[in-house]
Structure 1
């Protein structure tokens, strides 16, 4: 197979001037800094302590016995800390915390299985983190044995694994492959050594290529690669050089995320100097150039920031109008409920969203006491479900027939007349095209899709919604 090399051409992009940054700030969608990514609705901003373990348990019991479910398992550990990271994770260098985590995870799975009351079929099973590949083979075997006792994981289920190419080895991958993993997402971010040093993630290109080769040798052929733009010291030339090397590995999917610098929330991001970050003009140029390169290489744009080969299930679902969006991003998952296991994991249940505590010790104590570790969430009513359906179609299809969505749910579209009125200034600027209740966001306006979705977000302050629409 092709091997990516670590050598990169010298960066030639010229830093943007203050005037160029001001112009880019007018072009860069306001939502990139201030709006949710709408992986749910209501969003996590609405979660509160009003939803706790008892409510979560009641919602779990309400999942119909015949309904399939999906599972997300959060492994909250890494062996090194990447300074750009926004995930709930902590660094460990001993085996003890992992042993304790697996023990509690098994107990949590068994407890939830009892609440559900039967072995529900599972369509999607996703291991995220942190770094799930920090688990040892015996951990993986025990977890899957427990899952099999509580759930019916079919042969056609998608079992996805987030991988840090720096900590995989043949024995671990053998265990994951034996367990049934059939899709892997590899974090790459950027291959420029200067950028890697600035984010404390030293990952030689050869390590990524070696991990991909080992996965394919074990029959795990569905490969996703995650890249990030807007990182310190990144340039457009550097981003494209990374992308060109990644494409030699022929991944099925590429995700191109924008780095969110929030040192007030993630203190380790303070180790990244503000002055090293690309300005708005440079970020926009990086994203646009990478999207063009991916499309020229035969990838289809999926939603906001994903790209996939035409044969990939995401691209097929998009063509068929069946693309979905949840906390794992764009997906083909249509399960009636998502069950989250592990610290910080989020579940999507018939009555609303629930989230476990992010504190590993508090999570373990709750499980040991025989109760769910739910610390917050939000109930979902019929108005939320209607708005969620409209927002999801916008985020997935770049367009929506609001009246048709409302009719499918037995609702009068006039209940969304106020939201449609906010579309007017966006329509005037060509961000959205409208024909009655039908909305369409042109491809070139994709970065503005969250702004359109925000018009339907009843939880945003009305003045903020009007400002977003008018900017």
Structure 2
């Protein structure tokens, strides 16, 4: 890709499109009653996925964009877990039936910050409230620096089969600049312990665009990481939004790479992973050829949700915990971000929904187009619009954003099929944004394209 295009589109801030519409479109006019209505219909749409948010860490990583709270004490965590289990009961009772669960994902924060026996109790609560299918996928996000041997055992004993480990960078200079010092030995011990207790699939999160990061340091991080042969990598560009995440002000902006450097770092990581035998999955994931993500790419069944690229095909996502977002057939529902307010509502036996979005047929069509672009780098709007009630030309005519991308050689249109050109796939979010009816209208800062 030319430097001119990287500069033109790389500095543009756009959503990652893990949902459509994206969270800034959510409004408080959609609340607990709407969520309750959707839950009562959830059983008719098949098995569900469950996301549990644990918003606590022992220290703050300065690059972090998540909703989390720093605590040195266990009491706030224990109080929160009590509320979380009450919310599980509340959601189950509202649904009116025991929903089948196909996927469970623990995110944060640091989910493994809780004690091992607390995790076991929480898993038992979930299995009491939901019917787990026999081959349910259970995934946990892990900070290797604080993972204990007792927690490793508990994860294995409670059916966890996927673990996502934060690595970000192995460069000591970068680690110091982001307040996350993590040795290779800590990461290795976590991986070996998990595999020894039945957690068969591991994913490493890497970040480019960090302070003091260079192409060479990115390559060295990848070469070090692949010594442990994780099944997957997720590679994200650092989103510097200090207006929203005040701790990011601790990062010296003059040490951050520009758009061209970020693009070069991302491509260097991708090339190094390809040499090591990893298949590229969509925009920013990589997997070994026998991993189910790679298989899904070949079969055209790859999906994208709040955890990134996935094989999760459930229509329903139950979001549990403060700030958690759920998706039902009717729309999106987000819990209160403030832990205190979240706890107050659950204590009053009220679903802690703070805001949401009721999906229209047009939203669902646009969401389908955006998902296929993000997953396949192309979208056949003719096929996707068949049952939508809209003619396929509806999204193509007078689409100035798309016309500009086509003019620049980033995308092409063949009939009703939109294709992200191979040498421009890094800009897939820009192409997806051409079908986003809200882009530029919500006053929200997103991450840079490059």
Shorter-chain TM-score bucket reads over 0.9
CA contact (8 A) 1:61 1:115 kept: yes
Q: What is the count of residue pairs matched by the alignment?
A: 441
Give the C-alpha shift of residue 455 in structure 1. 1.1
1:126 aligns with 2:80: no
CA contact (8 A) 2:43 2:99 kept: no
| C-alpha distance in structure 2 between counterparts of 1:65 and 1:459, whole Å | 30
Alpha carbons of structure 1 residues 111 and 25: separation in structure 2 relative to 1, 3 Å: farther
1:299 aligns with 2:299: no
Deviations 1:34-68 (A, max 9, x none): 21111111111201111111111111112134611
Give the match for residue 207 of structure 2.
Answer: 228
SS of the equivalent of 1:70 reads strand
| C-alpha distance in structure 1 between counterparts of 2:391 and 2:277, whole Å | 41
1:203 aligns with 2:174: no
Deviations 1:122-147 (A, max 9, x none): 11100000000101122111111111
| C-alpha distance in structure 1 between counterparts of 2:46 and 2:388, whole Å | 19
Give the C-alpha shift of residue 459 in structure 1. 1.6
Instruction: Find 1:456's aligned residue among 432, 435, 445.
Output: 435
CA contact (8 A) 2:141 2:164 kept: yes
Instruction: Find 1:135's aligned residue among 114, 118, 129.
Output: 114
1:49 aligns with 2:28: yes
Instruction: Find 2:140's aligned residue among 136, 157, 161.
Output: 161
Give the C-alpha shift of residue 155 in structure 1. 2.4
Structure 2 residue runs of 5 or longer lacking an equivalent are 444-450
Give the match for residue 378 of structure 1.
Answer: 357
| C-alpha distance in structure 1 between counterparts of 2:388 and 2:311, whole Å | 21
Give the match for residue 414 of structure 2.
Answer: 435
1:412 aligns with 2:391: yes
Give the match for residue 337 of structure 1.
Answer: 316
Alpha carbons of structure 1 residues 50 and 66: separation in structure 2 relative to 1, 3 Å: closer
TM-score (norm 2): 0.95
| C-alpha distance in structure 2 between counterparts of 1:419 and 1:223, whole Å | 45
1:357 aligns with 2:331: no
Task: Kindly report which structure 2 residues correspond to 1:382-393, keeping only aligned pairs within 5 A, or say none.
Answer: 382-393=361-372
Give the match for residue 448 of structure 2.
Answer: none
Task: Kindly report which structure 2 residues correspond to 1:29-44, keeping only aligned pairs within 5 A, or say none.
Answer: 30=9, 33-44=12-23
CA contact (8 A) 2:11 2:259 kept: no
Instruction: Find 2:264's aligned residue among 285, 289, 292.
Output: 285
Give the match for residue 85 of structure 1.
Answer: 64
CA contact (8 A) 1:77 1:91 kept: yes
Alpha carbons of structure 1 residues 316 and 366: separation in structure 2 relative to 1, 3 Å: same
Q: CA RMSD in A?
A: 1.6
Instruction: Find 1:266's aligned residue among 245, 252, 255.
Output: 245
More displaced stretch, 364-373 vs 33-42: 33-42
Give the match for residue 246 of structure 1.
Answer: 225
| C-alpha distance in structure 2 between counterparts of 1:388 and 1:310, whole Å | 28
Alpha carbons of structure 1 residues 87 and 33: separation in structure 2 relative to 1, 3 Å: farther
Give the match for residue 76 of structure 2.
Answer: 97
TM-score (norm 1): 0.91
Alpha carbons of structure 1 residues 443 and 251: separation in structure 2 relative to 1, 3 Å: farther
Give the match for residue 444 of structure 1.
Answer: 423
Give the C-alpha shift of residue 224 in structure 1. 0.3
CA contact (8 A) 1:66 1:120 kept: no
Alpha carbons of structure 1 residues 27 and 66: separation in structure 2 relative to 1, 3 Å: closer
Give the C-alpha shift of residue 25 in structure 1. 6.6
Task: Kindly report which structure 2 residues correspond to 1:178-193, keeping only aligned pairs within 5 A, or say none.
Answer: 178-193=157-172
Give the C-alpha shift of residue 304 in structure 1. 1.0
| C-alpha distance in structure 2 between counterparts of 1:172 and 1:388, whole Å | 38
CA contact (8 A) 1:118 1:150 kept: no
